[in-house]
Amino acid sequence: DEGLDNVFARHRRIADGVRAAVHAWGLELCATRPEWYSDTVSAICTPAGFDATQIVTRAADTYGMAFGTGLGEVAGKVFRIGHLGQLTDAMALSGIATAEMVMVDLGRDIRLGSGVAAAQESYRHGTPTARQEAA
């Protein structure tokens, strides 16, 4: 019912908000150039020497939130936040907030609310029509 163009636009908008959060955290995406960004999932690099799998495990065990682990040569170096399915802006904000809590729990230098605020700004500046159609 939503229509493919609206689905693709919603996935792009949610991905843009996640990318804004990653930037606010001072972290980097595994995809180092915008033309390589995915609107389906963001792989987020963690600092050298930190096992990113801890984020995925703690999110699941403590907060009931599912993130993805890094695969292959990025195993333990990234965690993944997906942007597909019936996800809404508000649901994505919940995931971003959970990622922040987990990183703070694990001693990462992340300011609670920084990524959420960046994503909120990104989502607020989407077109009203796109926001309504995604709801």
Tens of pLDDT along 35-45?
A: 999 999 999 99
Q: Provide mean pLDDT across the span 96-107.
A: 98
Rounded Cα distance between 35 and 46, Å, is 21
Write down the pTM of the prediction: 0.90
Q: Answer whether residue 131 shows pLDDT above 80.
A: no
